[in-house]
Amino acid sequence: MHEIFERLIADFHERPLPRLTRRDVRLPALRGKVDAVVGMRRTGKTSLLLARAAELHEAGVPREGVLYVNFDDERLLPLEARELDALVETYYRLYPARRAALSYLMLDEIQNVPGWERWIRRLLDTEAVQVAVTGSSARLLGREIATSLRGRALTTEVYPFSFREALRHRGMEPARPPPYGGRTRSRLDRALREHLVEGGFPEVQGLDPALRVRVLQEYVDVAVLRDVAERHRVSNLPALRALLRQALAHPAGELSITRLHRELRSQGLAASRDTLHEYFAYLEDAYLLNGVRLWTRSERARRVNPRKVYPVDTGLALAHARRLDPDWGRLLESWVFLELRRRGYAIGYYRTRSGREVDFVAEHPAGGRRLVQAAWTLEGEGTRARELEAAVEAMRELRLREGEVVTWVEEETVEAGRGRRIRVVPAARWALELD
């Protein structure tokens, strides 16, 4: 095993670090804590570690001060936790001076090694190291890390590219914040429309549409099999896939487990309502779906009201859509949710006392609450009144002075009386202002 580790270490230090699109995700990197990077497959967790390695090198840390190992390498399978000591021994034998300095260990897909948690706890207690780990959501989920490492880990979630990151990847990121002139606004509005269709998975950026759909469908297939079915020993795969298809085909829709249960029974698929609730939780754990509850102080009301369901990526939803023409309104609402979620907002939908619905009430851990409606356009019979009246009523009940209606291109400020106002803002500008 020493020889294999020696070869892997030498290969990493000889290989130039790749040039990667900078992400807006930052690792806390606190001394004595493990950075645990989690998220759906193919969202860029490995790239985040390699980008961190490049940053450290630029800051003066020598290449040998950073060690990256991918435990998905077939030469390391199978591997047991007790054999991980050979990795550290080999590293310090190659670079003995590193024992007197802080070294950075980046361990990719570490969940492939049973018992890795205990080994890392011991490593933190005995060596001068900063550790970052990534893994598929099959076993390396946030709450499991918290349990296994007993408060020694900080979890960072990685999502597909945000709109700003997608612009940066294409060399289109604006050099300054809004407002923008007419030419820039038109360019950003077109880019947003393309982004809603393409989604944010790094690997599919710029791909031919047919090939992109195939790749995204494969992502889902692998995640379902490895991160849900294998991990939770799911035996009723047809019911699991039916639940996922329903959610992906209707982004930003309400999910009724009772209705789905009846539909499955009519198709001859036996699955209890409790089982379907469990399957939905598994899909959330694998970062395929996000369930949003009613925003209320009543726990009972949260339980009895249906969840609204958003996919982890708009491109992923389109790759599983049952219609050829995009439902721009649902895609925009899903995208608004994701832009808020990746910035750490706690999100719920709101229903006023008169029954009007607002898409999002979002509260940030650092403070501040936003009320956000998403509408592709306010044109059309009744649309403007419906969206604005719901926002005004919710603002009044929640005692908020400002609300937002995110559209594709429309922009105005609506005075709502008693010092309240609603910003109707183009989606591209809204997202870039969030930063």
pLDDT at 172 over 90: yes
Contact by Cβ (8 Å): 280, 260: no
Average pLDDT over residues 279-286: 92
Q: How confident is the model at residue 212 (pLDDT cuts 50, 70, 90)?
A: very high
Instruction: Name the residue among 355, 256, 249, 260 with its Cα closest to residue 306.
Output: 256
- Looking at residue 142, its pLDDT comes to 55
- Looking at residue 145, its pLDDT comes to 63
Average pLDDT over residues 83-102: 96
Q: Where are the domains of the chain?
A: 2-158, 166-434
> 3-state secondary structure string, the chain?
CHHHHHHHHHHHHHCCCCCCCCCCCCCCCCCCCEEEEECCCCCCHHHHHHHHHHHHHHCCCCHHHEEEEECCCHHHCCCCHHHHHHHHHHHHHHCHHHHHCCEEEEEECHHHCCCHHHHHHHHHHHCCEEEEEECCCCCCCHHHHHHHHCCCEEEEECCCCCHHHHHHHCCCCCCCCCCCCHHHHHHHHHHHHHHHHHCCCHHHCCCCHHHHHHHHHHHHHHHHHHHHHHHHCCCCHHHHHHHHHHHHHCCCEEECHHHHHHHHHHCCCCCCHHHHHHHHHHHHHCCCEEEECECCCCHHHHHHCCEEEEECCHHHHHCCCCCCCCCHHHHHHHHHHHHHHCCCCEEEEEECCCCCEEEEEEECCCCCEEEEEECCCCCCCCHHHHHHHHHHHHHHHHCCCEEEEEECCCCEEEEEECCEEEEEEEHHHHHHHHC
The 8 Å CB, 24+ separation contacts for 263-269 are 264/239, 267/242, 269/236, 269/238, 269/239, 269/242
CA separation for the pair 225, 230 (Å, rounded): 6
Average pLDDT over residues 83-87: 95
pLDDT at 205 over 70: yes
Sign of the torsion formed by the C-alpha atoms of 282, 284, 287 and 289: positive
Is the bond preceding 18 in cis, omega lying within 30 degrees of 0?
no
Using one digit for the tens of pLDDT, what is the confidence trace for 115-169? 888 899 999 999 999 999 987 654 555 555 656 677 788 889 999 999 999 999 9
Q: How confident is the model at residue 250 (pLDDT cuts 50, 70, 90)?
A: very high
pLDDT at 112 over 90: no
Which bin fits 229, alpha (ψ -120 to 50), beta or left (φ > 0)? alpha
- Looking at residue 329, its pLDDT comes to 97
pLDDT at 384 over 90: yes
Q: Give me the percent of the chain exceeding a pLDDT of 70.
A: 97
CA separation for the pair 203, 212 (Å, rounded): 9
- Looking at residue 117, its pLDDT comes to 86
Contact by Cβ (8 Å): 222, 72: no
Average pLDDT over residues 9-23: 95
Q: How confident is the model at residue 226 (pLDDT cuts 50, 70, 90)?
A: confident
Q: 2-158, superfamily in CATH?
A: P-loop containing nucleotide triphosphate hydrolases (3.40.50.300)
- Looking at residue 138, its pLDDT comes to 43
- Looking at residue 46, its pLDDT comes to 94
pLDDT at 8 over 50: yes
Average pLDDT over residues 243-265: 93
Q: How confident is the model at residue 72 (pLDDT cuts 50, 70, 90)?
A: confident
pLDDT at 100 over 70: yes
Q: Which residues of 144-173 are buried (b: 16+ CB within 10 A; e: fewer)?
A: bbeebbeebbbbbbbbbbbbbbbbbbeeee
152 versus 328: the higher-pLDDT residue is 328
At residue 421, φ and ψ (nearest 5 deg) are: -145, 155
Is the bond preceding 78 in cis, omega lying within 30 degrees of 0?
yes
Mean pLDDT of the chain: 93
Q: Give me the percent of the chain exceeding a pLDDT of 90.
A: 81
Q: Which residues, 6+ apart, have CB-to-CB distance to 366 below 8 Å?
A: none
